[in-house]
A and B are shown apart, each in its own frame.
Chain A
């Protein structure tokens, strides 16, 4: 994954995002991540390859997609409608183009920094009206550190604020490159124990913690550490205390908790994949209110988003 990327592979551009940093923002979602978190709400973000996502509720079941597919990659899957087999799909997009219900989308479009900037600047006035800007999210945006730096340089020259959301599972040099152009970094910690981390995400957390330490020592921007609170995965009292201890050790004073939600379940269906969280119910912000007090007890200012 260390080869130099020249294009940004984007699976979504969300305008007027108001939940991802200061001011009015556009969020660029970049495709590809080396973690496989069980609860991931954006399963379409994981693979670096383009893929077809089916909005299962929009699918009218006409089967036109299957009939236009030259590779026979589209098949009817009970409960999901027509899904594409990623091994046979050649990402030509003809099924999406021929879907009159607009239920199929080919995700993973490549942009040069110039092309992307042109789109992002459509909302320039809105960013500048209140300290807003562009958020790079994913997937894992740091895999695109070089092109992000290039894109960000063009945006920063116009006074646009840059924020990057990362899981930290990237080479330090990538993080270094991204951090030099971002006013703020949202950094996810999923579990402090590496073995458990491996069980939950497919990888240990050594690199993630090492990178966080590096940021704490070297990054001068706004660093926000975030913890997705997932019942049965990382919500044990000891898990939380370990997390707080880590923050204190790094002299970090605040943390953001993100309640588990199941808004991604339809996407798993649309990709023909199994949702590993089963029937676990979504949490509400109020369910996590107790963490504010728990944090305060150890000197950590907790917010729930």
Chain B
């Protein structure tokens, strides 16, 4: 790591996260003044105003410049999505932002007052409040019972977008403007549709101009500083940075440095347009490498200088931040932005796509040990072992599960099933946590309400009623205690799942309609095909590809629960259904029964087969459940954009719950997998905590049985590795052998946590000493010390596989 990178990294850790009121104030002021005009134009103008007048900083040593807020790691506020929680949390309910158990944000009174003074304007017309007001009673009940939850895409903007960076670096925004103008000229007619298209294109124009203006302002700041800087070397650097920002992203990049600066500015602008997260970078190594090769060839840059630019860029990505409400934070713990960056994979003609830029990204990942961007290695049969071992080396040093590994073969099969054009499939990338997207052609790689899968089972075991809220959702065919087989319970479970899946779809239909009315975003849309041609925003159906689906949590735990019922109640008859149901309803605390509540819990936990051990008695239930959910989403559900342009507009299955497995677990009572009330459910498709007993290959074999064809939105497979498992090249090769077997069998993804539990325990006791300790919680990495204690304990309690 160069001394510059070291200083930048150190400064990043010294900076505490905070709240910035600038965007909130400028945006709200602009919106106040534009009442009555079409929303797409109003938002475009407000976006322009923000870029035109927000403060700009350029800090020492930076090679990539431009900022999201008044200070690094400060989160701008987007009041148009939701206001109630801001008022409440500024009032300390449930916590003051700066006193939260995790993900704290600092602020001063002035910032607080400035934000509060904007909120009146948004009262009753923010997206979240509108949605909750418009949802039918039964959906609000399901939401309040924590069966579904759509906070993340209503109290905040829509995210999971990968715009066409490749086109921007090669053609510049000037070409976007040309295409907008050409389309505007083509449009004729007086009808409402044409009018709306015209408005959209005008808005797109305005927003692109705003981004160009923003770059010019950054250039001006660099110039200003250059004139005053005492160090002539830095002054020269600043002049060069100014020149770069004058040129990109408006024009095509001429150098590697310009290409990276251009990408950063686009990433920044998309983040400033809305606060939807998981704005990812796509195949960064592919679209920047031609610039790097040319610069190297022509002697404009050295390898080390290029690495320094990549590192400076990665550090900038860590300056982005988002303030979520506390309940939403519980699903996304760890200051997460989910900026994913893919390397490797294959070229259009099926060759190994690994290049020098791929290697620089992996090196930067290893050197920096940061959680953003999330480095994802795409593997296919032609990926060389050398690169994979390099990535495993980086993963060992990083300790936070990066890079993670993704399988082209599995994802491309899924995309084929969804009708994605063959010419686009190889180019897929993981967005955000892990969901597959086609860069520049897909709207939102993930969107829609969460589903609490094991909660639905709890409701089935209570004959259609949620015991926590008392809400009754649906009458069963027969009381569960009269079930004669696990299959009967499973049939009822499927019916209940279908009921809630339909509620998910209906929720998102209403949510989309509200976004269409209140939340059109022309800048990001102008960088995704075919929004300009169609004259439509992404949320209106402007993109080539689209499929909805929010994260789910707890499928593995629910499958384990069915396996336990099957094994102990119906096969071995060690328990009756009545005994089981009584134990669940009393959270295993009734010690007057024989066996006692606690004994029943131990039986369920220890004497029933569990997923993750290559044991068909458990795996078959998980597979059946996953097949049902996955195929229902794929073939039975349609998003609001169906028939409006994009394909396939189905739903798809996501099992990347981030920390939602903990948040959702809190609302679920005791379950037959031996889980106590309130405990977390399993994470992704990783075996439930403590249930892996036969090592890594057995866990992989269980995962291989899952129908990954349904997993377009990803399924996180987390594996803890002891440090010794990576202690030598020969040991790493064994891990690679295992990954290959998993992937050849359509396993989709795997990520590792390499650390000792002792280290985590020490970090809990002395967080200051471990402020850079990383952990891969689920589909992303986080700083361990930023997590809440219960989240930290969850990390520690994950079974350490003996590898």
Residues of chain A whose beta carbon lies under 8 Å from any beta carbon of chain B? 14-19, 22-24, 60, 62, 100-102, 122-123, 125-126, 129-130, 132
Contact = CB atoms under 8 A, between A and B. Distances in A.
B698 interface: yes
Given A14-B802, A18-B734, A100-B602, 14 more contacts: A14-B695, A16-B696, A16-B802, A16-B803, A17-B695, A18-B725, A23-B734, A23-B737, A24-B738, A60-B602, A100-B603, A126-B737, A126-B738, A130-B736
A19 B741 CA distance: 19
A110 to B, nearest CB: 20
Nearest to B600: A100
A167 B801 CA distance: 29
Interface of B: 595, 599, 602-603, 606-607, 614, 694-698, 700-701, 724-725, 730-731, 733-734, 736-738, 740-741, 744-745, 801-803
B599 to A, nearest CB: 5
Nearest to A26: B697
A102 B737 contact: no
B738 A16 contact: yes
A122 B697 CA distance: 9
Contacts of B801: 16
24 contacts: A15-B694, A15-B695, A15-B697, A15-B698, A16-B696, A16-B802, A17-B695, A18-B725, A18-B731, A22-B730, A23-B734, A24-B734, A24-B737, A62-B599, A100-B595, A100-B603, A101-B602, A102-B606, A122-B698, A125-B741, A126-B697, A126-B741, A129-B737, A129-B740
Contacts, number: 65
Contact of B803 (A18, A100, A130, A132): A18
A132 B737 CA distance: 10
A303 to B, nearest CB: 11
A123 B730 CA distance: 19
B607 to A, nearest CB: 6
A16 B614 CA distance: 13
B741 A16 contact: no
Nearest to A60: B602
A164 B698 CA distance: 23
Contacts of A100: 595, 599, 602-603, 606-607
A180 B219 CA distance: 76
A4 B46 CA distance: 88
A15 B613 CA distance: 10
A19 B724 CA distance: 10
Contacts of A17: 695
Contacts of B803: 16, 18
A122 B744 CA distance: 15
A130 B734 contact: yes
Nearest to A131: B737
Nearest to A101: B602
Nearest to B604: A100
B615 to A, nearest CB: 10
A17 B802 CA distance: 8
A122 B619 CA distance: 15
Contacts of B701: 122-123
Nearest to A119: B614
A150 to B, nearest CB: 24
A16 B606 contact: no
Contacts of A24: 697, 734, 737-738
Contacts of B736: 130
B737 A130 contact: yes
A280 B595 CA distance: 42
Interface centre among A16, A122, A126, A130 (most CB of B within 10 A): A16
A15 B602 CA distance: 25
Nearest to A97: B607
Nearest to B572: A97
